[in-house]
Every structure is written in C-alpha cells, then in structure tokens.
C-alpha cells in the first residue's frame, strides 16, 4: 500500500491510538532476554525508546505460535458442545522474519486443507503482524541458511525498520488500518529517499553479519540428505549423546505443532483440552494395544529431523525450521541443530 515515516516524536502518540483499538503486544527486554509484553497506557509515559519494540535485536524467547496456537486450550466439551468465543483484535508489534515464517508452517497445518482449526484461525485473523527488522542478528541466528532474510521480505501486515530513531513502515493493504488509526502522524516516503537508503544499508549489514556467522552453506537437498541418513543410527547416536529428553527444544520451537488432546471430567460433563506435545516423548507414537514404533529414543530423535526437513518439505514445499536458534539456546546438552544439519 505505501511506505511511511513516523517521526520519533509521534511514536507514542500512534501507540496510544492503537491501544484504543487493539490489544498491542510488544517485545521488551528483561534481564537481557526478550519477552512479549502487553502494552499498557502507562508504558507510554516513559521515553519513546524505553518501551517501543523496534530496537529489539532478535526474536522474543517465546515462540510466536503461543499467540495463535495456545499452549493449553479447551477445544471441545461433552455432551454440550463448546461455545466459541470470538477473540478481540490484536497487534503483534515487532515479530521477526523468522516468526513470520514459523506462522506459515502453522497456517499449512491448522489453517488450510479439509479440516481447519477454528481456534487458530480466529486468533490468526484477528491479529495484525508488524514484522520488525533485525538490526543485529545474534550468534544463534541462522535464518539465512534457510532462505530467509533478517527483515520481512514479504507477508505480514506491515514491516517496521528503525532509522535514526524514527520508524519506517512498509504497509500492506491488509495493514492499512494501522495507519488509518492516526493518518496525520505519517508522511509518505518516496523511493530514493535518504531514509530508505539508510534502511537498505542497515538491512544489508544485518545480512552480511549473518552470512559471516553462518558462512558454510548446507547440503542443498536437506530433505533427501536427512531421509538418506535415517538408517544410520551411528549418526543420530553421535548427535543425541548429550540429550536429556527435557523437550525444551520442541516446546520452544516456533514451528513445532504436534499436540495432545485429553479429556477431563468436569461436573456431569467432559472438557477436552489441547496442549502442545513433544515427539521426543516415549509414548508419543504408542498405540492403544501397547506397540510402539519409536520405542528407542534415537528413533524419536531422528524423527524430529525427518519431520522438519524431509516430510514437511515434501508435503508443503518448505522446511519446518526457520533458523531462530531457540532449540539450542534451550538445550542443556548443547546440541546445536546447525552442527547436525551441517554434517549431512
């Protein structure tokens, strides 16, 4: 739709306008880690730079799926059917390019096809996504190896860059309402403007830094390479050696979408809950009769890779990994997925 400049002095004004229409979530820094925070009016009484999210270096610790595919959610009841509550409108101001890619994975599974998840779709449709550039990718970021850029190349409702403290917003048609909340605060940016040139420089620098950190390209056919390794237990044993089966890598992963349905008696009826699940769990694939096709951990370990890099690629044309680095940041065994993939 257009590219706009929001001067530093207007940022809080705009956010306060947004607050009157949406629940606005921003990433904030707590003890050097980045977490999502529900913006409150009092947050805007501070200096513009203290709460506004654009300057956050990288993605939040929490995977963005938490907003659409809740960690624990009631999805049905019995005998009376669950009545569906429409959620209110939200803005996620400052997701990253890797987060956006992760949502595409969930879109494929929960939002497309014959059976759609009404809970996911309601939250997804009610949420505007503003994708902020990553000015300083960290050592754990490897989105470049998965074909992503540290800024929104496409998709989302708007892209946000910070140039000299001012905000640049590249707004798609779907994000028009964000600007419409206070159009007087925005000025059009023309192609060739110095601000846009500065933004492009910053973006380029971020890419260069990522390419330095992750210089060695992977096997161009990861899907085939993972599939070919499945009957080589020595390979997986070597990499799984320090795994303590805590499932941290799976719970934090923004693309993992496995879930468990369980029922609990509630009064005279039943409540059905959905929770995130982990394919490393020993009983994950066990059938009612007791047989378990992945009883050995090593099979479950390899299964995670074949699911993300082989099956998902074959079925949906993309890897179910975005290079966000959450899995090995969480890993107490210090298993680095880059190392595993690098040896394929």
Partner 1 sequence: MSNPYQPIPATILETHDETPNIRTFKLKPEREIPFLAGQFVELTVPGYGEAPFTPSSSHFKRDTFDMTIMKVGRATSALFDLKPGDRVGARGPFGQRYPLEKFEGKDIYIVGGGVGLAPLRALFLALVHEIGKYQRIFLRYGARTPADIVYKHLLPEWQKIPKVDIDLSVDVSDEKWMKKVGVVTCLMDEIPCDEKSSIAVVCGPPIMMKFVNQKLLDAGFQGGDIYLSMETNMSCGVGQCRHCRLGPYLTCKDGPVLTWDQIKDLENPFV
Which residues are near partner 1 by CB under 8 A? 75-79, 81-82, 84, 109-110, 113-118, 121, 230-231, 257-265, 269-270, 272, 274, 277, 279, 284-293, 303, 307, 311, 314-315
Binder of residue 101, out of ligand SF4, partner 1, none (CB less than 5 to 8 A by kind): none
Q: Which two tokens stand for residue 59?
A: 């993605």
Q: Which two tokens stand for residue 180?
A: 């419409």
For CA atoms 18, 20, 23, 25, the dihedral sign is positive
Paired tokens of 85: 């509550």
Single out the residue of 5, 18, 253, 278 in contact with ligand SF4 (rule: CB under 6 A): 253
> Which of 10-18, 65-73, 271-279, 317-325 is the region at the interface with ligand SF4 (rule: CB under 6 A)?
317-325
Query: How many Cβ atoms are within 10 Å of 305's Cβ, its own excluded?
Result: 23
- Least distance to partner 1, CB of residue 8, Å: 42
**C-beta of 258: minimal distance to partner 1 in Å?**
4
Shortest reach from residue 287's CB to partner 1, in Å:
5
Q: What is the CA radius of gyration of the chain?
A: 22
Q: Which of 5, 39, 58, 340 forms a contact with ligand SF4 (CB under 6 A)?
A: 58
What is the rounded distance in angstroms from the CA atom of residue 265 to the CA atom of residue 288? 21
Give dist(CA 195, CA 190) in Å, integer. Answer: 9
Side-chain-facing half-sphere of 62: CA atoms under 13 Å: 20
Among ligand SF4, partner 1, none, the one that 264 touches (CB under a kind-dependent 5 to 8 A) is partner 1
Task: Report the alpha-carbon distance of residue 236 to residue 232 in Å, rounded.
Answer: 7
> 228 touches which of ligand SF4, partner 1, none (CB within 5 to 8 A by kind)?
none
86 interacts with, out of partner 1, ligand SF4, none, CB within 5 to 8 A per kind: none
Cβ–Cβ < 8 Å for 82, 43: no
Smaller CB distance to ligand SF4: residue 95 or 185?
95
Pair 262, 241: CB distance under 8 Å = no
| Interface ranges with ligand SF4 (CB under 6 A) | 58-59, 96-98, 134, 137, 141, 143, 150, 252-255, 321-327, 337
């Amino acid at each position: 739709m257009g590219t706009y400049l929001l001067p530093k002095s207007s940022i809080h004004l705009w956010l306060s306008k947004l607050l009157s229409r949406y629940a606005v979530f921003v990433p904030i820094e707590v003890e050097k880690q980045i977490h999502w925070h529900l913006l409150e009016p009092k947050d805007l009484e501070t200096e513009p730079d203290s709460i506004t999210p654009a300057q956050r270096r990288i993605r939040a610790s929490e995977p963005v799926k938490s907003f659409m595919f809740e960690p624990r959610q009631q999805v049905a009841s019995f005998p009376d059917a669950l009545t569906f509550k429409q959620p209110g409108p939200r803005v996620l101001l400052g997701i990253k390019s890797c987060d956006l890619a992760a949502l595409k994975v969930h879109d494929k599974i929960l939002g497309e096809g014959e059976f759609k998840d009404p809970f996911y779709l309601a939250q997804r449709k009610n949420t505007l996504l503003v994708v902020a550039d990553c000015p300083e990718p960290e050592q754990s970021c490897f989105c470049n190896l998965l074909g992503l850029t540290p800024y929104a190349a496409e998709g989302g409702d708007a892209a946000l860059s910070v140039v000299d403290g001012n905000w640049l917003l590249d707004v798609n048609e779907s994000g028009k309402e964000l600007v419409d909340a206070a159009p007087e605060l925005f000025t059009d940016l023309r192609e060739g403007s110095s601000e846009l040139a500065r933004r492009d420089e910053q973006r380029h620098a971020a890419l260069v830094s990522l390419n330095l950190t992750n210089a060695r390209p992977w096997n161009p056919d990861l899907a085939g390479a993972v599939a070919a390794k499945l009957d080589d237990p020595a390979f997986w044993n070597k990499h799984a050696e320090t795994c303590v089966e805590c499932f941290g890598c799976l719970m934090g992963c923004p693309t993992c979408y496995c879930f468990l349905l369980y029922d609990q008696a509630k009064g005279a009826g039943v409540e059905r809950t959905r929770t995130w699940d982990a394919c490393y769990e020993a009983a994950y694939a066990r059938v009612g009769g007791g047989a378990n096709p992945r009883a050995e951990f090593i099979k479950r370990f390899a299964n995670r890779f074949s699911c993300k890099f082989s099956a998902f690629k074959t079925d949906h044309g993309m890897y179910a990994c975005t290079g966000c680095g959450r899995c090995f940041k969480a890993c107490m065994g210090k298993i680095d997925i880059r190392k595993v993939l690098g040896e394929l």
